[in-house]
Copies of this chain bind each other. A is one copy, B any other.
Amino acid sequence: MKMYGFWRSLAAYRVRVALKLKGVTFSEEPVNLLGGEQHDPAYLKINPQGAVPALVLDDGQILSQSMAIMEFLEETYPGVTPLLPRDPTGRARVRALCHIGVSDSHPLVVPRIRSYISKDLGLGDEGTAKWLNHWSAESLRIYNDRLSQESQTGIYCHGNELSMADIALASQVVGATGFFGCKLSDYPKVQNIFDALCKVDAFEASLPKHQPGAPT
């Protein structure tokens, strides 16, 4: 398989981790989001939404949207590192935890929003940084509250087995603390889980800083 991604993309990070956890062989082709390459006509033929990730299957079919791709990988490789528990309400909890990051927060910090706030709303770099920090902190606060209060939380987000929720949580932490000025120590339960995840090679090796193009 081939994934179109970018070192800094949190959605590409999610799919990169999932592919590694599933043991899928893939190559990654960078699309420079900071340089606007996602709007190139050639790339729009691959993903008309002008976003990464896009996953090209070996038969040429192209998938988009990180959650849809993770569900596809789970359905296609169910036996390798299951990313959802077996019980229906456990699955619902894992997916709900995913959406705190993937749906409620990450869409607020993507390039098109940053550009609109800075340029169209005229808030500039400083106003944009404040927005990014505010909503990133809000998502870590909600994660921390739920994960500390709910009995299903274990070493990881849902018991002691990895799940999609850990991938979503890690992507939020990576963005919030790496790019948007949040302090992980303000969210102790999130910090505990993230520390445990960083010991898993698929999570560590997928970090933005290890990808081609990342600043050294």
CB pair B103–A65 under 8 Å, yes or no, is: yes
Closest to A103 in B: B103
Closest to A69 in B: B92
Residues of B within 8 A of A93 (CB): 63, 68
Residues of B within 8 A of A99 (CB): 65, 67-68, 103
User: In the docked arrangement, what's the CA distance between A18 and B150, Å?
Assistant: 27
**A160 interface contact, C-beta 8 A:** no
Which of A48, A65, A106, A131: most chain B CB closer than 10 A? A65
Of the residues B68, B105, B116, contact of A95 by C-beta under 8 Å: B68
User: In the docked arrangement, what's the CA distance between A51 and B89, Å?
Assistant: 19
A-B complex: 5 closest residue pairs judged by Cβ atoms: A68-B95, A65-B96, A68-B96, A65-B99, A72-B92
Residues of A within 8 A of B (CB): 48-49, 51, 57, 61, 63-65, 67-69, 71-72, 75-76, 88-89, 91-93, 95-96, 98-100, 102-108, 113, 116, 121, 123, 127, 131, 134, 142, 145-146, 149
